[in-house]
Chain A
Amino acid sequence: QVQLQESGPGLVKPSQTLSLTCSVSGGSINSGGYYWTWIRQFPGKGLEWIGYIYHTGNTYYNPSLKSRVIMSLDASKNHFSLKVASVTAADTAVYFCARLSPELPPDYWGQGILVTVSS
């Protein structure tokens, strides 16, 4: 059974860079043709899909965030990462990592991590 776990700072100052890591267990991020994705949930409960990364390094980013987002992966550590630059209070959210099969919506999710942007 695949398991995902987010980690990173829970508090980030405005204008700084939010950095999160998703550790994957129960399967290799290099195998099976899966994509690895980030989704966030705002305090009002709305959900926003941030984008995905494939094991080849190919990425897709939501245009709403594209200029500020970078995703990467480290196969040797079996984890993938998210960076969001120049954060504001509007980036305060619970950030989830999840797995995608090609053309299918996320099946396995991490438990989520709350990131608050505040000085």
Chain B
Amino acid sequence: DIQMTQSPSSLSASVGDRVTITCRASQVIRNDLAWYQQKPGKAPKRLIYTASSLQSGVPSRFSGSGSGTEFTLTISSLQPEDFATYYCLQHNNYPWTFGQGTTVDVK
């Protein structure tokens, strides 16, 4: 299985901050990487797919980049509704695998 390593596992930030989360794959996955946001008691919500494609309806402050084994999710200006846990998912090789998550909380 492909291992997905996210960093950091948690971070504290303030409204307006620029936030960057990284996901590293244990082998090359082209650009077959998605980012999800999850809030307590809710299902994950797809933000980004194929590494940099923004899901319809998702604010443009979210962006994704990378290919191969290194990927980044950036929130350009953190908003109150963005405090949540973020997961990456590789959809290149079966079985698809998730990162362990990054929790963004209030500083």
Contacts and interface: CB of A to CB of B under 8 A. Distances in A.
Q: At the interface, is chain B mostly helix, strand, loop or mixed?
A: loop
Given A105-B34, A111-B42, A49 B97 contact: yes
A75 B104 CA distance: 41
A96 B56 CA distance: 22
Interface residues of B, number: 21
B49 A48 contact: no
Contacts of B44: 47, 96, 106, 109
Contacts of A63: 95
A105 B89 contact: yes
Interface in A50-76: 51, 60, 62-64
B85 A45 contact: yes
**Interface core residue of A46, A106, A107, A110 (most chain B CB under 10 Å):** A106
A90 interface: no
Contacts of A111: 42-43
Interface in B81-107: 85, 87, 89, 91, 94-98, 100-101
Contact of A47 (B46, B91, B98): B98
Contacts of B42: 111
Interface of A: 45-49, 51, 60, 62-64, 96, 98, 103-107, 109-112
Interface of B: 32, 34, 42-46, 49-50, 55, 85, 87, 89, 91, 94-98, 100-101
